[in-house]
Structure 1
Amino acid sequence: MANENLIKFCVTCGQRTKLITITSDGGILNNLKAKVATKFGLDAEQVTLRIKLNEYENLIDIDENDSEDVELLKQGGNVFLDTPQKYAVASSEDTSDSDVSGRQEVASTSSSHEINSDSITENGSSKCFNVKDIIQRHPRGKEIDEEYNTNSTITTETRRLLTSIVCAEMVKIFTYYPTKNQKIKVAQSIIQAYPTLRSSSQVPYDIWFDPCDSNRGYLSQKLNTMRRNLPRNELMRPRTKEGGDKISTSATSKTTKRKYTPLKEIAPLEEEELMLFCKRASRHETKGILEAMAASYSNRRNWITLKAPSVPEILARYPRLQDSPDVLQQEFKLMYPENGNKMITTWETRFCPHILQLAKMSRLPKIRQLYGELYKESVIDDDDDTVPDPPSTSEIALFSFIMAIYMVPSQTARRKSSLADSVGYFLVTRPIGTSVESHLAEERNAKKRRQPYLLGIGERNNPSQFFIVVDDLAIPCEGDITEAVDKLFKVHYVFNIRYADEVYGFFAFIQNFVYGISGQEAVPARAREMMASITALEVNANK
């Protein structure tokens, strides 16, 4: 049993190579660094670890704050140790984008070419920051251009490389503290060199630098990461602790940031009569129930939004929101008349195929594993002529949702749980024969998930029945996975509930780009990046 927790590495430092075995208990990276420091007589805090995977030619940098990198370590393998004289370890403020050490890239760009004297003025401000020229001169720039020219977009891993190269050049020209205008010019130069990497928002370069918030955008995040290793006397600004209001994970926590203007209400007595009719009418009196719910909509919406009742309290007054699918759909349509059918009409035709294409391009092990599992690549036997059955439409849709969660990770949640755990806040599957009541009892004891999520009954990769679980209640869903996700999203709005932290990025993507509902909160950069990639793939396919 103990051997199952052991991970073996072949570690190389300069001319020396040693076999190192660690346990998977606790922090894998910290255990490995401590063992390496002992074996090679180094300070563990002053080295950078890079791992070599068999299927890739390039080494992959390991960041202790990036859960995807830590997942790579669980596989063991060949690890290369950069000496402290050349590189410094960079802990990241944006855990998904600190893939290459800033000082490493500065050294690389410095050795590859001289500074173009036309690109800076006497005071160091930018005249012409030509990203295309910088990438073409860099030793690894060919990787970026080849991928972009082939697919009209780039993967997350390649975008990280692009960000690192550009930020290294910025540091060389502008120091570690470029001005706002300089960062804007660089961001503009990136989307000029690679037009499909622009955002769909009013500021097309805000994925790279957001002029409304200097801490947002890949350039600012990478520069913040690089500055963390500066000596204290070189820091121009004091380090600050991560701020922001903590978001409650309770399902009764309401979305106070959604704009709301109170609606004109009907008389309380009239509302009470309509409410009693809906309670006592047969579920099959659909037309009468829908008319009564529509007539009392204003009173109900004001109460839910302004008084913030719990889900059980709402369903006690309006039980048809739980047991009549048409009522919940109507409620959302009254809130957003133009957006109600967007998921049903566009996910499988527009989003799903391009998400699968992005998954096929990805170099992240988990996404590659999901793609192979969907198309049953791992079970193909060279000696067997049997061709695996192609995945069904519902399987493809399910995997596209899960892949989207991996492609748009929620940074707040990743500090608390892995991406694999995040999927469990979207969908939990149980085998056929599992009773909903037993699952609710199990969840009640675990006290893990509080925000709404899907319960799928049936095969793990293709459940046949779905329920939305929220506040110890199960709301049945009719139809396939796409219809279930459509209803899950709408439950958040109808009952005025926050998205779970663990899948916030995923739902932000669904909200802004599938349903087209804008909010007061900023759209995560990874969500905007994925939408830009989908748009680029669409354009490329229509050429």
Structure 2
Amino acid sequence: MNHTSDREVIMQKMRTTFEYRQHLIHDPEKSTTILSVFPQFLDTKGLILQDFTLLFGSESASRLFERWPTVFKAKVIRLAETLTSTPLLKRLLSSAKEKREEQDSPEWDSDLSSFLLLLHLLSPQASGRKKPHKISISQAVDHVVVFQKACRSIQEHLEAEENRQPYILATGSSKEAISQFFIVVDKKLIPCQESSSLAAIDELFKVHFVFSISYDLPLKNMYTFLQTTIYGIDVGTTSESPGVFLQPAGSGPYPDLTKDLRLDPMTTQC
């Protein structure tokens, strides 16, 4: 693989070495070397998606694309509309519904904006052992996706970033006009296969399982919702906070999101 640029050959060889790669990933002494042993992740699009499919099958791999646009997106927008308004919530709702006013500052596209509304419904979790610290919704958004102007140095951005869990780096002329999405892992860029924001969200979630990376603790509620409710992974065995689906951030008593988002003929897990 180190001596070919043929994508089909690389994809086939990566399928062949899948079991060996999983052995490395689950070896505490070697897991941090995975991107050095398999640098193809850094320049060949689609490898994250291929490994995830080998882990969970094509049905699970396609669930976000099948369910978010048809079921979850509209429900998340509807529930978010009942929350106490904030400037960020207002902008995200406006962009999610594709009704942005001309005077509004550029915001993310409809799919990404609707997804970020989940952070208002599923409260960011406090992190830290001795003194738990709960981050704001705005800070939580920055833990999911960061915008970088295409004219700026990506390398400078990576060098300035503190080591943290995977996130999306979106580059372009504005948040509305993203030219490329990357997943940042250990200060390295993994190019997303597709140029859509929904595809970037999909790869961000999947990279955790492909490389056996723990969730960013403040985003655990959001990732757990994706894992169990949308992708159907380890349903019934994954520990969930009692408030994950019941209490949106700072809103007090709230309708049961488990009922509103889960118990639907199109979303109930088999």
Q: TM-score, normalised by structure 2?
A: 0.79
After TM superposition, the structure 1 = structure 2 runs for residues 417-432 of structure 1, keeping only pairs within 5 Å, are 417-432=135-150
**Structure 2 CA distance for aligned equivalents of residues 319 and 415 of structure 1:** 36
Deviation at 1:380, TM superposition (A): 7.5
Contact 1:398 1:461 in 2 (8 A): no
- SS of the aligned residue for 1:333 comes to helix
Q: Which has the higher contact order (CA 8 A, sep 6+)?
A: 2
Contact 1:430 1:457 in 2 (8 A): yes
Q: Which residue of 1 aligns with 2:114?
A: 400
**Structure 2 CA distance for aligned equivalents of residues 510 and 437 of structure 1:** 30
Contact 1:398 1:462 in 2 (8 A): no
Q: Any unmatched runs of 5+ in structure 1?
A: 1-277, 382-387
Q: Which residue of 2 aligns with 1:8?
A: none
Q: Please, which of 186, 189, 195 is the counterpart of residue 474 of structure 1?
A: 189
Kindly provide the CA deviation profile for residues 99-144 of structure 1, in whole angstroms up to 9, marking residues without a partner as x.
xxxxxxxxxxxxxxxxxxxxxxxxxxxxxxxxxxxxxxxxxxxxxx
Contact 1:322 1:476 in 2 (8 A): yes
Contact 2:143 2:167 in 1 (8 A): yes
**Structure 1 CA distance for aligned equivalents of residues 188 and 66 of structure 2:** 28
Q: Please, which of 275, 279, 295 is the counterpart of residue 2 of structure 2?
A: 279
Q: TM-score, normalised by structure 1?
A: 0.42
Deviation at 1:295, TM superposition (A): 2.1
After TM superposition, the structure 1 = structure 2 runs for residues 169-248 of structure 1, keeping only pairs within 5 Å, are none
Structure 1 residues 378 and 475, CA gap change in structure 2 (3 angstroms): closer
**1:315 to 2:32 alignment:** no
Q: Which residue of 2 aligns with 1:296?
A: 17
**Structure 2 CA distance for aligned equivalents of residues 308 and 509 of structure 1:** 31
Contact 2:124 2:220 in 1 (8 A): yes
Q: Please, which of 83, 101, 113 is the counterpart of residue 362 of structure 1?
A: 83
Q: Any unmatched runs of 5+ in structure 2?
A: 247-256
**Structure 2 CA distance for aligned equivalents of residues 333 and 380 of structure 1:** 42
- SS of the aligned residue for 1:463 comes to strand
**1:523 to 2:240 alignment:** yes
Q: Please, which of 208, 211, 215 is the counterpart of residue 499 of structure 1?
A: 215
Equivalent pairs counted in the alignment come to 246
Structure 1 residues 419 and 295, CA gap change in structure 2 (3 angstroms): same
**Structure 2 CA distance for aligned equivalents of residues 298 and 378 of structure 1:** 47
Q: Which amino acid aligns with 2:92?
A: L
Q: Which has the larger radius of gyration?
A: 1
What's the C-alpha RMSD, in Å, of the aligned pairs?
2.9
Deviation at 1:526, TM superposition (A): 4.1
Contact 1:410 1:505 in 2 (8 A): yes
Deviation at 1:362, TM superposition (A): 2.3
- SS of the aligned residue for 1:279 comes to coil
Q: Which residue of 1 aligns with 2:46?
A: 326
Deviation at 1:346, TM superposition (A): 1.8
**Structure 1 CA distance for aligned equivalents of residues 218 and 262 of structure 2:** 26
Q: Which residue of 1 aligns with 2:55?
A: 335
Deviation at 1:524, TM superposition (A): 2.9
Deviation at 1:290, TM superposition (A): 2.5
Deviation at 1:322, TM superposition (A): 2.4
Q: Which residue of 2 aligns with 1:274?
A: none
**Structure 2 CA distance for aligned equivalents of residues 300 and 419 of structure 1:** 36
**Structure 1 CA distance for aligned equivalents of residues 188 and 139 of structure 2:** 22
Structure 1 residues 399 and 308, CA gap change in structure 2 (3 angstroms): farther
**Structure 2 CA distance for aligned equivalents of residues 364 and 309 of structure 1:** 47
After TM superposition, the structure 1 = structure 2 runs for residues 161-172 of structure 1, keeping only pairs within 5 Å, are none
Q: Which residue of 2 aligns with 1:511?
A: 227
**1:534 to 2:250 alignment:** no
Structure 1 residues 376 and 521, CA gap change in structure 2 (3 angstroms): closer
Structure 1 residues 419 and 317, CA gap change in structure 2 (3 angstroms): same
After TM superposition, the structure 1 = structure 2 runs for residues 408-423 of structure 1, keeping only pairs within 5 Å, are 408-413=122-127, 415-423=133-141
Kindly provide the CA deviation profile for residues 42-68 of structure 1, in whole angstroms up to 9, marking residues without a partner as x.
xxxxxxxxxxxxxxxxxxxxxxxxxxx
Contact 1:407 1:526 in 2 (8 A): no
Identity %: 27
Q: Which residue of 1 aligns with 2:201?
A: 485
Structure 1 residues 526 and 460, CA gap change in structure 2 (3 angstroms): farther
**Structure 1 CA distance for aligned equivalents of residues 265 and 74 of structure 2:** 10
Kindly provide the CA deviation profile for residues 410-449 of structure 1, in whole angstroms up to 9, marking residues without a partner as x.
3324834222111111011122312311211221xxx2x5
Kindly provide the CA deviation profile for residues 265-295 of structure 1, in whole angstroms up to 9, marking residues without a partner as x.
xxxxxxxxxxxxx22221x241x32322222
Deviation at 1:307, TM superposition (A): 3.2
Q: Which amino acid aligns with 1:347?
A: W
**1:437 to 2:155 alignment:** yes
After TM superposition, the structure 1 = structure 2 runs for residues 386-397 of structure 1, keeping only pairs within 5 Å, are 395-397=109-111
Q: Which residue of 1 aligns with 2:69?
A: 348
Deviation at 1:489, TM superposition (A): 0.9
Q: Which amino acid aligns with 1:522?
A: S
Deviation at 1:363, TM superposition (A): 2.8
Structure 1 residues 538 and 315, CA gap change in structure 2 (3 angstroms): same
Deviation at 1:404, TM superposition (A): 0.5
Structure 1 residues 399 and 462, CA gap change in structure 2 (3 angstroms): farther
